[in-house]
Amino acid sequence: MHALVTRGAPGLELVEIPEPETPPGHVKVRVLRAGICGTDLHIDGWDAWAQSAVTPGLTVGHEFCGEIVEVGDGVTDYAVGQLMSGEGHVVCGHCRNCRAGRRHLCIRTSNLGVQRDGCFAEYVVLPATNVWVHPGVTAASATAQQLDVFGIYDPFGNAVHTALKFPVVGEDVLVTGAGPIGLMAAMVARHAGARHIVVTDISEPRLELARSLGFRALDPREQEIREVQRELGMTEGFDVALEMSGSPAALVGIIENLNFGGRMAMLGLPSTPIELDFAKVVSHMLTIQGIYGREMYETWYAMAAMAQTGLDVSPVITDRFAFADWQAAFERARSGAAGKVILDFTEGA
């Protein structure tokens, strides 16, 4: 089969490798759609993080949907032909957090496309416990748009986990970072009943995409967040902030604009240490909560429920490429001007 692998140097390679076996307790999936993530760009660039985390020869990719084509021994809950999305965090099942039902906090988490072979291939194998089936639809009956959205349930889950970490009904929400996950988080907050939602970024194409989705969006280098608060009639600071960018400046700006008792859910991963005014964190009684991945599987149930009640995240998907055109897809994703970029595996390699 064709697979996109890292060779331990800048640049990925499309190669022929054997089709994977299906161990007991696992399923084999024919990949239909896959999303390109920032993690994949780090591996493609073979930066310091990738060198420390990834073994050369690994098949990359972790956002996908596909059709189950084989089930291993002992798998009774899933069947060939079902359409699914994959939870990319594989947990041990034995540590304290796993045994207590907090699998998203597993101390031995292995990540699809980082520590184990991922989904940028014609077939991928993963534990049956990591399968999320989409009921009532098959690979043959699903629309192209449905498959695109199912292919990004992993980052959609990140957005849901972040946006719903704190109650947002009637609250004023600041979202820093208008990438695909940031925009989906803003959409989730709106769907869940937030009052005012303000999105910040320094990329004008992404700000335009945010505006096209109905959000007040600004570049904080050109307009102060406090000015927008006044325009919206906000007499106090934001109640909830969703930090999705990893930018030190964004985090500092959040601290400056949160109300007393404000809460921040932080998904963006900084590349360098950040100096914060912790005196303000203390005196304003602020809460900062780190977010990593999705709660398994409470987040997935929330995602499905919101999709069933009208939340449509497909507008964040701006570009679609055939798997054979993966290089152009990566270039587009790296440009910073796109929303979510999708690879279509039904067009082959």
**Two structure tokens written together for 286:** 């602020």
Task: Judge contact between 28 and 70, C-beta under 8 A.
Answer: yes
The helix/strand/coil state of 25 is coil
Element (H, E) at 41: helix 38-45
Counting every residue written for the chain, the total comes to 349
Type of residue found at 63: E
Which candidate in 6, 22, 26, 39 is catalytic?
Answer: 39
What distance in Å separates the CA atoms of residue 217 and residue 199, rounded to the nearest whole number? 5
175, 198 Cβ separation under 8 angstroms: yes
Q: Which residues pair with 52 in a beta bridge?
A: none
CB 112 within 8 A of CB 88: yes
Comparing C-alpha atoms, which of 284, 345, 293, 349 is closest to residue 320?
A: 345
Alpha-carbon span 120 to 102, nearest angstrom:
28
39 catalytically annotated: yes
Q: Is 6 annotated in the active site? A: no
Angstrom distance (rounded) from CA 27 to CA 129: 9
User: Phi and psi at residue 263, in whole multiples of 5°?
Assistant: -130, 140
Query: Annotated catalytic residue: which of 22, 26, 42, 162?
Result: 42
Phi/psi of residue 30, nearest 5 degrees: -85, 115
* Token pair recorded at residue 122: 């014609």
What amino acid positions are annotated as catalytic residues?
39, 42
